[in-house]
Chains A and B, each alone.
Chain A
Amino acid sequence: MAKMSGAQALVEALKRKNVEVIFGIIGGATLPVYDVLYDSEIRHILVRHEQCAAHAADGYARASGKPGICMATSGPGATNLVTGIANAYMDSSPVIAFTGQVNTFSANSAYMIGRDAFQEADIIGITTPITKYNYQVKKAAEIPEAVKLAFYVATTGRPGPVVIDVPKNTQTEKAEMDFSDNISLRGYKPKVEPHKLQVKKAAELLLKAERPMIFAGGGVILSNASPELLELAELLMAPVATSLMGKGCFPENHPLSLGNIGMHGTVEANKLILEADVLLAVGTRFSDRSTGTLDTFCPDAKIIHIDIDSAEIGKNVDIDIPIVADAKRTIKAVHQLLIQKLQKKKSSQWFKRVQEVKEQVLSKAGSSGDGLKPAKIIAELRKILPEDAIVTTEVGQNQMWASLYFKTYKPRTFISSGGLGTMGFGFPASLGAKVACPDRPVVDVAGDGSFIMTEQDLATSVMEKIPVTVVVLNNSMLGMVAQWQRLFYNRRYSAVNLDKLPDFVKLAEAYGAQGIRIGSLDEFAKAVRKALKSDVTTVIDVPISPEEDVFPMVPAGKGLKDTIEG
């Protein structure tokens, strides 16, 4: 094989992995790679801040199920990626980041690693705790293997972000390149097949259960196990509650759906889990936001926990039957054992109880108050959007309203920053999702505080022709924090007032996007329909009252039994 440069090898390796798009910003230490990309078929989307490159890659990954690629230069370019990488790590998203680095060696210059060179940052050191794997290339010939391992590690087992740091001299250096496919990583062998005996034990426990409940997390979506989960839930007549990351893995218009569980979970989910006698938890890490205080979380239930990451088993909650394996294969195996002994039923005592609680909640909900209520806005949005539309969210009240009122029917159609809780995630993630699914509507449900953290990428959406819709629930407040101050800090509104926000209509127009301010639910519906037809991104400014709260709510330090219905 002919010699090629490290930069050429990098782009070639990406091509072999069928990479269609890279989100990034060029800089001094990535010039050689970008020079090769100039002639490549791989689309490069120039964002306006590297954080957005990582979030867009994350949104792309979550919407498509394929790894998302981002690229940044050395130093500040790389450190700007950090929030996005941490976000992907917390939510197990396969984001692969390539960073430029100063030279490994330089004959007559101090532009090299360890000399505090211009735009040098120790990105390997910085990202070690927030990546599944990271690696600094030492010479050009290592690049094909580094790329291969990055894709393998990021996408197998429990997915997660990988950083490959590529010093500039390794990009220009020429070497014989080996693009073979074999992988040898003796320290990494993800276990996918479930242990037969554990599956049998789980099936036996479920068979005896009178009030079984399923708690499904993001792992169900990552392993594409939604069809299997639906079959199992119906066979067991088990209601399904999801974590925020699991939202979408089970159709929320199904009679067995309870919606999300946890701090801002539904009343029905938080109530029924207290009554369950067997909890089947799949692909969830029992985060504090899902469980509330641990000693009062499903106090009467035996717990089966299926997770591909053994370290999640017993980390937060003690488990009766652990199964370390892929969610899809395990649910299938459990189903196969159960189907031999269980008849599919139309109803059961437990099912009746589930319906009873759901109806109680529904009857209390009713229409509360006048004006532009977030619940109504989100419900209206759901009515207008097709089933396969993708909604991303920012973080805060907007996120919780979206999770409560935007009924989600399909996996990978609800994309939110669950673990890290990154304000500013939703908009760039929506751009990534739109790039992955150009034929489907993509809407970012935003708050004013979150949107202004990454709004500069309106420029990217217009220039790169990635039309999305941003619904800004605008209370001129850091609303979620204000809610806590209202409830727990005596209404002492410290540092939450965003009074002098830009005019979002003019802001959108300044970028060449479309801006619409609405004053009624009707106008909102019209604006959304207009946005869906638009060739450019639309920002819909929805003024809401700063006094709006998100309920239900479990106060911090309390258990699910203490859910305030509001």
Chain B
Amino acid sequence: MMKNNNDEEKTHMIAAIVEHKPGVLYSVANLFRCRGFNIESISVGVTEQPGLARMTITVKGNEKMIEQVIKQLNKLIVVVKVSRLDPANVVTRELALVKVNAFSAKERSDIINYVDVFRARVVDVAPESLMVEITGTSDKIDAFIGLMKPFGTKEIARTGITALSRGAKSIKIEE
């Protein structure tokens, strides 16, 4: 029998164009739960086409599992199109809001230095804390959050990854 040579667990990115209707997120999330697939992150938003939403899902698994994820997603009536994003040819972004302690003037200026280096922005200033908005790849955000740890991060909100393939190609929907 043919053996899958790729049993290695990796993080994969999937873009799903779905009907923008109530219950769709539930159907998709439920599918992952029922079949034992693990969602690492999921982000949802409207698309350029009315009535459709785009879900960017990152999921960890081996090659065979990812194939099943895509096929099972395709089976859902509310899912219009599924495509796998090639990590070598994709732009990924995540946005995070980080609330960090800043008690002294020194801490404040240190944080702002980091913010500049990372091309992030301070979006809220309170007497003893700052809120920073940072956009970038997940790695970049992880690194920034790592640097903020010593100051004391009070709260972090991340959007999860969203992604688009490079170049002129797009996910086409047949009518």
Contacts and interface: CB of A to CB of B under 8 A. Distances in A.
Contacts of B77: 132-133, 153, 185, 187-188
B27 to A, nearest CB: 6
Contact of B1 (A132, A133, A311, A317): A317
Given A314-B67, A318-B2, A318-B4, A186 B175 contact: yes
Contacts of B115: none
A295 B2 CA distance: 11
B19 to A, nearest CB: 6
A310 B67 CA distance: 10
Nearest to B27: A128
Interface of B: 1-4, 18-19, 23, 26-27, 30-31, 34, 64, 67-68, 71-72, 74-81, 173-175
Interface in A126-144: 128-129, 132-133, 136
Contacts of A314: 64, 67-68
B3 to A, nearest CB: 7
B68 A320 contact: no
Contact of B79 (A125, A187, A303): A187
B78 A299 contact: no
B3 A125 contact: no
A315 interface: yes
A187 B26 contact: no
A6 to B, nearest CB: 19
Contacts of B71: 310-311, 313
A124 interface: yes
A320 B2 contact: yes
13 contacts: A125-B26, A128-B23, A187-B19, A187-B79, A188-B77, A311-B71, A311-B72, A311-B74, A313-B71, A314-B67, A318-B1, A318-B2, A319-B2
B127 to A, nearest CB: 42
A186 B173 contact: yes
Nearest to A162: B77
Interface in A277-331: 295, 299, 303, 309-311, 313-315, 317-320
A299 B1 CA distance: 7
Nearest to B67: A314
Nearest to B18: A187
Nearest to A320: B2
A311 B3 contact: no
A187 B76 contact: yes
Contact of B34 (A129, A136, A313, A317): A129
A181 to B, nearest CB: 18
Contacts of B3: 318
Contacts of A185: 77
Among A124, A186, A299, A315, max chain B CB count under 10 A is at: A186
A53 B173 CA distance: 39
Contacts of B18: 187
A132 B27 CA distance: 11
Nearest to A324: B71
A320 B77 CA distance: 28
A127 B65 CA distance: 24
B-side interface mostly: mixed
A152 B23 CA distance: 21
Contacts of A320: 2
Given A187-B76, A320-B2, A124 B68 contact: no
Nearest to A298: B1
A314 B81 CA distance: 20
Contacts of A125: 26
A187 B27 contact: no
Given A185-B77, A187-B78, A315 B23 contact: no
Interface in A307-359: 309-311, 313-315, 317-320
B133 to A, nearest CB: 35
A309 B75 contact: yes
Nearest to B23: A124
Interface in A187-226: 187-189
B64 A186 contact: no
A310 B173 contact: no
Contacts of A189: 174
A482 to B, nearest CB: 32
A268 B19 CA distance: 49
A186 B1 contact: no
A320 B19 CA distance: 34
B23 to A, nearest CB: 7
Contacts of A187: 18-19, 76-81
A310 B82 CA distance: 14
B68 A315 contact: yes
B54 to A, nearest CB: 14
Contacts of B173: 186
A299 B77 CA distance: 36
A310 to B, nearest CB: 5
B12 to A, nearest CB: 16
A475 B4 CA distance: 47
A189 B75 CA distance: 10
A129 B1 contact: no
Contacts of A318: 1-4
Contacts of B1: 295, 299, 303, 317-318
Contact of B74 (A132, A299, A310, A319): A310
Contacts of A188: 77
A228 B146 CA distance: 65
Among B18, B26, B71, max chain A CB count under 10 A is at: B71
Contacts of A124: 23
A429 to B, nearest CB: 26
A128 B2 contact: no
A136 B27 CA distance: 14
A317 B76 CA distance: 22
Among B2, B3, B34, B81, max chain A CB count under 10 A is at: B2
Contacts of A133: 77
The 5 closest A-B pairs by CB, nearest first: A311-B71, A187-B80, A318-B2, A188-B77, A133-B77
A215 to B, nearest CB: 14
Given A128-B30, A129-B30, A318-B2, A186 B174 contact: yes
Nearest to A318: B2
A188 B173 CA distance: 12
A234 to B, nearest CB: 28
A302 to B, nearest CB: 9
Contacts of B2: 318-320
